[in-house]
Amino acid sequence: MLTLAEIGFGAPEALLARHGLALARVADGEPIPGSYWGECEAGLIGTTVYARSDTPVHSLLHEACHLLVMPPERRAAVHTDATDSVPEEDAACCLQILLADQLPGVGRDRLMADMDAWGYSFRLGSARAWFEHDAEDALAFLATRGLLP
Protein backbone atom coordinates (compact mmCIF):
# COMPACT_ATOMS: atom_id res chain seq x y z
CA MET A 1 0.00 0.00 0.00
CA LEU A 2 1.13 3.48 -0.86
CA THR A 3 2.26 5.40 2.24
CA LEU A 4 2.93 9.00 3.11
CA ALA A 5 6.66 8.19 3.13
CA GLU A 6 6.36 7.56 -0.60
CA ILE A 7 4.42 10.70 -1.57
CA GLY A 8 5.43 13.08 1.22
CA PHE A 9 3.31 15.19 3.52
CA GLY A 10 3.24 18.40 1.46
CA ALA A 11 0.50 17.62 -1.06
CA PRO A 12 -1.80 15.90 1.47
CA GLU A 13 -1.32 18.78 3.91
CA ALA A 14 -2.23 21.32 1.22
CA LEU A 15 -5.26 19.26 0.13
CA LEU A 16 -6.60 19.03 3.69
CA ALA A 17 -5.94 22.74 4.30
CA ARG A 18 -8.04 23.64 1.24
CA HIS A 19 -10.91 21.92 3.02
CA GLY A 20 -10.32 23.52 6.42
CA LEU A 21 -8.55 20.53 7.98
CA ALA A 22 -5.08 20.21 9.47
CA LEU A 23 -2.60 17.37 9.04
CA ALA A 24 -0.44 16.66 12.07
CA ARG A 25 2.67 14.58 11.48
CA VAL A 26 3.36 12.01 14.18
CA ALA A 27 6.93 10.87 14.77
CA ASP A 28 7.81 7.42 13.47
CA GLY A 29 7.19 4.74 16.08
CA GLU A 30 4.90 6.96 18.18
CA PRO A 31 1.22 6.04 18.64
CA ILE A 32 -1.13 7.94 16.34
CA PRO A 33 -3.65 9.99 18.36
CA GLY A 34 -7.28 9.34 17.50
CA SER A 35 -6.57 6.23 15.41
CA TYR A 36 -9.60 3.95 15.31
CA TRP A 37 -7.65 1.04 13.82
CA GLY A 38 -4.35 1.59 15.64
CA GLU A 39 -0.85 0.82 14.37
CA CYS A 40 -0.10 2.98 11.32
CA GLU A 41 -3.67 3.99 10.53
CA ALA A 42 -4.60 7.69 10.48
CA GLY A 43 -6.39 9.22 13.44
CA LEU A 44 -8.62 12.19 13.94
CA ILE A 45 -9.42 14.58 16.70
CA GLY A 46 -11.55 17.59 15.90
CA THR A 47 -10.49 19.03 12.54
CA THR A 48 -7.00 17.50 12.70
CA VAL A 49 -5.96 14.30 10.97
CA TYR A 50 -2.92 12.56 12.50
CA ALA A 51 -0.54 10.39 10.49
CA ARG A 52 2.98 8.98 10.40
CA SER A 53 5.21 8.38 7.42
CA ASP A 54 4.07 4.72 7.39
CA THR A 55 0.38 5.70 7.29
CA PRO A 56 -1.31 4.45 4.11
CA VAL A 57 -2.58 7.25 1.88
CA HIS A 58 -6.01 5.59 1.70
CA SER A 59 -6.24 5.74 5.50
CA LEU A 60 -5.35 9.43 5.62
CA LEU A 61 -7.90 10.27 2.94
CA HIS A 62 -10.61 8.11 4.49
CA GLU A 63 -10.36 9.75 7.90
CA ALA A 64 -10.17 13.24 6.37
CA CYS A 65 -13.22 12.50 4.25
CA HIS A 66 -15.17 11.41 7.32
CA LEU A 67 -14.61 14.92 8.67
CA LEU A 68 -15.58 16.53 5.38
CA VAL A 69 -18.87 14.68 4.94
CA MET A 70 -20.14 15.32 8.46
CA PRO A 71 -21.92 18.54 9.39
CA PRO A 72 -19.33 21.18 10.43
CA GLU A 73 -20.91 21.55 13.87
CA ARG A 74 -20.02 17.91 14.67
CA ARG A 75 -16.36 18.14 13.64
CA ALA A 76 -15.05 19.87 16.76
CA ALA A 77 -16.36 17.05 18.97
CA VAL A 78 -14.96 14.16 16.91
CA HIS A 79 -12.41 11.93 18.57
CA THR A 80 -11.33 8.66 16.95
CA ASP A 81 -14.72 7.44 15.61
CA ALA A 82 -16.38 9.66 13.04
CA THR A 83 -18.93 7.29 11.56
CA ASP A 84 -22.48 8.42 12.12
CA SER A 85 -24.37 6.56 9.39
CA VAL A 86 -24.08 4.30 6.37
CA PRO A 87 -24.66 7.27 4.00
CA GLU A 88 -21.75 9.14 5.63
CA GLU A 89 -19.50 6.06 5.40
CA ASP A 90 -20.34 5.60 1.73
CA ALA A 91 -19.81 9.30 1.03
CA ALA A 92 -16.41 9.19 2.77
CA CYS A 93 -15.35 6.21 0.63
CA CYS A 94 -16.51 7.92 -2.54
CA LEU A 95 -14.87 11.24 -1.70
CA GLN A 96 -11.53 9.62 -0.86
CA ILE A 97 -11.48 8.05 -4.33
CA LEU A 98 -12.24 11.41 -5.95
CA LEU A 99 -9.67 13.31 -3.88
CA ALA A 100 -6.95 10.76 -4.67
CA ASP A 101 -6.78 12.31 -8.15
CA GLN A 102 -5.61 15.56 -6.52
CA LEU A 103 -2.54 13.93 -4.98
CA PRO A 104 0.48 13.57 -7.28
CA GLY A 105 1.55 9.96 -7.59
CA VAL A 106 -1.72 8.59 -6.19
CA GLY A 107 -4.89 8.77 -8.32
CA ARG A 108 -8.10 6.86 -8.01
CA ASP A 109 -6.84 3.64 -9.62
CA ARG A 110 -4.04 3.21 -7.08
CA LEU A 111 -6.28 4.24 -4.21
CA MET A 112 -9.02 1.75 -5.10
CA ALA A 113 -6.45 -1.05 -5.40
CA ASP A 114 -5.11 -0.15 -1.95
CA MET A 115 -8.64 -0.03 -0.53
CA ASP A 116 -9.21 -3.57 -1.79
CA ALA A 117 -5.84 -4.77 -0.48
CA TRP A 118 -6.59 -3.29 2.97
CA GLY A 119 -9.96 -5.04 3.12
CA TYR A 120 -12.65 -2.45 2.44
CA SER A 121 -15.83 -4.44 1.83
CA PHE A 122 -18.22 -3.58 -0.98
CA ARG A 123 -21.22 -5.68 -2.02
CA LEU A 124 -20.05 -5.67 -5.66
CA GLY A 125 -16.71 -7.19 -4.64
CA SER A 126 -14.29 -4.31 -5.16
CA ALA A 127 -13.92 -0.59 -4.63
CA ARG A 128 -13.84 -0.04 -8.41
CA ALA A 129 -17.02 -2.02 -9.06
CA TRP A 130 -18.81 -0.14 -6.27
CA PHE A 131 -17.53 3.27 -7.40
CA GLU A 132 -18.38 2.70 -11.06
CA HIS A 133 -21.72 0.90 -10.65
CA ASP A 134 -23.21 1.51 -7.20
CA ALA A 135 -22.02 4.84 -5.80
CA GLU A 136 -24.93 6.97 -7.07
CA ASP A 137 -26.26 7.60 -3.55
CA ALA A 138 -22.82 8.58 -2.28
CA LEU A 139 -22.27 10.94 -5.21
CA ALA A 140 -25.70 12.51 -4.62
CA PHE A 141 -24.83 12.93 -0.93
CA LEU A 142 -21.59 14.69 -1.89
CA ALA A 143 -23.34 16.86 -4.50
CA THR A 144 -26.00 18.10 -2.07
CA ARG A 145 -23.22 19.22 0.30
CA GLY A 146 -21.09 20.83 -2.39
CA LEU A 147 -18.26 18.33 -1.87
CA LEU A 148 -17.70 17.10 -5.41
CA PRO A 149 -14.23 18.12 -6.60
In a domain, 89, yes or no: yes
Phi, psi of 128 (to 5 degrees): -60, -50
In a domain, 149, yes or no: no
pLDDT of res. 107: 98
Q: What percent of the chain has pLDDT over 70?
A: 100
Query: How far apart are alpha carbons 16 and 99 in whole angstroms?
Result: 10
In a domain, 114, yes or no: yes
Q: Which of 9, 38, 6, 44 is nearest to 25 (CA)?
A: 9
pLDDT of res. 72: 87
Contacts with 49 (C-beta within 8 Å, 6 or more apart), sequence order:
16, 21, 22, 23, 24, 42, 43, 60, 63, 64, 67
Residue 72 belongs to domain spanning: 4-144
In a domain, 103, yes or no: yes
pTM above 0.75, yes or no: yes
In a domain, 131, yes or no: yes
In a domain, 57, yes or no: yes
For 108-146, write each residue's pLDDT tens digit. Answer: 999 999 999 998 877 788 999 999 999 999 999 999 999
Number of domains in the chain: 1
Q: What percent of the chain has pLDDT over 90?
A: 85
In a domain, 38, yes or no: yes
